[in-house]
Amino acid sequence: MSKKVTNIGVLTSGGDSPGMNAAVRAVVRTGIFHGLGVYGIMRGYAGMIDDDIHPMTGRSVANIIQRGGTILKTARSKEFMEYAGREKAYYNLKKRNIDGLVIIGGDGSFRGAQKFSNEFDIPCIGLPGTIDKDIAGSDTTIGFDTAVNTAVQAIDKIRDTMDAHDRLFIVEVMGRDAGYIALHSGIATGAENIVIPETKTDIEELLSSLMEKEKRKKLVNLVVVAEGGEFGDANELVKIIKERIPTADIRVCILGHIQRGGSPSCADRLVASHMGYYAVESLMIGRNNVMVGVINNKIHYTPLDKAVKEKQKIGQEWMKIVKILAS
């Protein structure tokens, strides 16, 4: 793993997130600045297997920093889960003398990188590109800030119609296994209740809270639900509430994939650029098989195997804050 890196490949894998293009841009231009050959791998690991790999120049990444999505496209690859698929990918890299990889994605992408690197001696650097902010080793991930701000803007608009009609709104945000978008957007928009996968929800307490607010004529209530909440999606939660509070005027809004799209925020552009730069620097000095993160506003390196085993944890004090501020 200590051999000198001369050509690097960059790919985006898993779910797209705003800021991936800024990270790709940083990797490409930093690599070129240091005299490395840089290749863009299309559609993640699927493109590596299909030999959809192309040399990149500074112009290849011009005018992309403000764009959502990813110019390299992304896909999930079942074939890469098999040794034969990874071997095929390796030979496609080898014929171009690509001897280092930067993988922008989530924990599934990092698991693939770790296995591939161990089998074929290709050093890999991971950049946390996911709107869920669920990877240990970084205070934030590329795309989270944009996604949560998109959710906040949408919920603010929903609050206007809630207030006009004295309604209870259940808003579902993304986060099948992680409740950070729900938590942050819920607190920022004054939600009365927040349902997240990490914390067991006391449904009786939630219902009592809503009934108590109804008695004191607080008819405008907001519940923000992560899609992976304990009671399933927002529609399932509505059924439970309706059974116990039949007089409640309830509406559901599922924000869905609008949270993934859109121009990345300034914060996401900065963090992606910062991480992309240090990904290339790491490969050059032989710091391999790590994820580049940010902790306390400083670059932090976490071994890939640790990053995929651990999850970013939500402290219980946050849920206490929600209850106090929503009273």
Buried b (16+ CB within 10 A) or exposed e, 208-235: ebbeebeeeeebbbbbbbbbbbbbebbe
Residues 183/213, Cβ–Cβ less than 8 Å: no
17 CB neighbour count, 10 Å cutoff: 32
Counting beta carbons within 10 angstroms of the beta carbon of residue 283, is it exposed (0 to 12), middle (13 to 18) or buried (19 or more)?
buried
Among 16, 99, 107, 132, the active-site one is: 132
Residues 154/258, Cβ–Cβ less than 8 Å: yes
Helix H or strand E encompassing 91: helix 83-94
Euclidean distance between CA atoms 44 and 71, whole angstroms: 11
Helix H or strand E encompassing 126: strand 124-128
249 is catalytic: no
- Strand ranges inside 156-279, DSSP E: 168-173, 193-195, 221-226, 250-254
**Catalytic residues, which ones?**
132
